A = this chain, B = another copy of it.
């Protein structure tokens, strides 16, 4: 247990440096665009060498979208906790409340909107973003398959359902982002997901 305090300490300072880097980098991205800003510039603006930057982020992309790595497990746990009598579609909608909170958060709104614009308009970032989403989806598929009592290895429906739910999430996000963003993101997501009705799974 004597090893705990220093580790926690290091981890804390590490987080601080990371968020400092994130802020500095985002300001530069907003000013000049993602691709026009080099890692060396970010590092210099944060008072460190390029080599040290890569000790805090595994890549330039990671600085922007790395945070989504943490989301996946949270979502899967959140799905596991949903009551069994709830429909799969409804359960997924409730799981997405996590995103709704994130999008609605008034403290982050300005900054998040700016970064979203940059991600949407930078193909490399958008690609990486979609890949993260696809990883989250995979983590949820197992839970959905279990709920439906079907085998995800031979039945495409768990993947299709989770993918469709994420498609709703992304579509709502884009529309929301291009709207005036008054009120909550929740109803927009509800609209998107309400376009679908799931047939009860049939045995095969």
Is A191's beta carbon under 8 Å from chain B?
A: yes
Residues of B within 8 A of A160 (CB): 164, 167-168, 171-172, 192-193, 195-196
Contact A171–B163 (Cβ < 8 Å): yes
Binary CB contact string for chain A from 120 to 153 against chain B (1 if under 8 A, 0 otherwise): 0001001110110010000000000000000011
Q: Which range holds the interface residue count of chain A?
A: 35 or more
- The contact of A170 among B131, B163, B168, B170, by CB within 8 Å, is B163
CA distance A187 to B166 in the complex (A): 23
CA distance A188 to B159 in the complex (A): 12
- The contact of A192 among B127, B156, B188, by CB within 8 Å, is B156
- The contact of A196 among B162, B164, B179, B192, by CB within 8 Å, is B164
- The residue in A126, A170, A192, A199 that gathers the most chain B C-beta atoms within 10 A of its C-beta is A192
A181, chain B: closest CB distance, angstroms:
12
CA distance A175 to B158 in the complex (A): 10
Residues of A bordering B, CB below 8 Å: 123, 126-128, 130-131, 134, 152-164, 166-168, 170-172, 174-176, 178-179, 188-189, 191-199, 201, 204
- List, sorted by A's number, 30 A–B pairs whose CB atoms are closer than 8 Å: A126-B131, A130-B130, A130-B131, A130-B134, A153-B178, A154-B175, A155-B175, A156-B168, A156-B174, A156-B175, A156-B192, A157-B171, A157-B191, A158-B171, A159-B170, A159-B171, A160-B164, A160-B168, A160-B192, A160-B193, A161-B195, A162-B167, A163-B164, A163-B168, A164-B168, A164-B196, A167-B167, A191-B204, A196-B199, A197-B197
